[in-house]
Amino acid sequence: MNGNYICTSCGYKGKPKKWTKGSFGIELLLWFFFLLPGLIYSIWRLTNKVEVCPSCKQPTMIPLHTPMGQKLMHEFKHSETKINDYSDNGIEETSFGLNIFGDKKPPMNNTTKLGMGILIVIILAFFIRGMTGNTDNKDAEQPTVNTSSASPKNSQVIQYIFDIPSLVGKDLNGVIAVLGTPKGQGPTTQQIALGAKEWDKTFVKDGKELLVTYTISNRRIVDFFISADDPSGKTKNTTRLMELGNLKQNDPRYRVEFVKVLKDPSSFTGVKIIPK
């Protein structure tokens, strides 16, 4: 007998041909743009090969030696025209995005349809993910540009009046060398004779006052006092007082004390800085 199989659909007698599902064009496109979807699609194609009838392209060929095959052989009138069996040479028919079988393609069963649906969903998910990622990156970059361009206009540089940390460690002569001549007179001989040990000097800069207390005998600084710059002479803004003297709360070179208003303990007349 010529051939080992017979088609139950058209009666063709011969050998079936292997057909690879899917499209080589789609596979190539996925590999070009998306690495992982291309790999998934290639694996799906390699694991979903079917044997079809070379004549009607249906996966309905059965062995000729079976009872059904013998029955069909007598029912159909077979053509003895031999169709080349490329599968013997290791060559398989595949789809390159076109219908290579003419007007017919092997039908897909429910499992194949489900697999194709899942594959399409995965591909779409990767595509949407890529598009969303690009949009997020653009949106994330935009505020950075706007912020950096606007920051020079909106940023406020803290301006101090008296740089107290630079004065710590100096005696009265050193402070005068930095701030200039203070207001007021020094103690008289009579005041010293009466027991005066400490004296004050007031330095004025940009309309703000710094009161410096020092020891008369060695002119060593006892403390600095910066008055509140509010017209009322008091303030609750301790941060502003710290800014006036360029002060930091935890600086190891000095100790900071806020001087409370006697009748209003929640407000302060200024800040005292005591060198350590």
CA pseudo-torsion sign 187, 190, 192, 194: negative
Is residue 258 located within the same domain as residue 216?
yes
Domain contains 77: yes
- Count of the separate structural domains present in the chain: 2
Is pTM beyond 0.85 here?
A: no
Residue 107 lies in a domain: yes
Give the per-residue pLDDT at 124. Answer: 66
Ramachandran angles phi, psi of 162, nearest 5°: -115, 125
CB 166 within 8 A of CB 178: yes
Note down the domain range covering 115. 5-130
Q: Is 28 domain-assigned?
A: yes
pLDDT score, position 149:
42
pLDDT at position 43 = 81
Phi, psi of 245 (to 5 degrees): -105, 10
Determine the Cα–Cα distance for residues 202 and 209; give it in Å rounded to an integer. 7
- Last residue of a domain, which of 87, 109, 130? 130
Asked whether residue 157 is domain-assigned, the answer is: no
- Tell me the chain's radius of gyration from C-alpha atoms: 48
No. of helices (H) and no. of strands (E), the chain: 8, 11
pLDDT of residue 23: 72
Q: Point out the domain boundary residue: 72, 105, 130.
A: 130
pLDDT score, position 259: 95
Same domain, 123 and 185: no
Check residue 95 and give its pLDDT. Answer: 44
159 inside domain:
no
Same domain, residue pair 16 and 114: yes
- How far apart, in whole angstroms, are the C-alpha atoms of residue 99 and residue 105? 7
Classify residue 137: in a domain, yes or no. no
Residue 158, in any domain of the structure:
no
Same domain, 95 and 171: no
Please state, in angstroms and rounded to a whole number, the distance separating the CA atoms of residues 143 and 111: 49
Same domain, yes or no, for 44 and 123? yes
Mean pLDDT per 10-residue interval, the chain, length 276 residues: 75 83 71 70 77 86 83 66 40 41 48 62 67 57 46 56 94 94 89 92 92 94 94 92 93 95 92 95
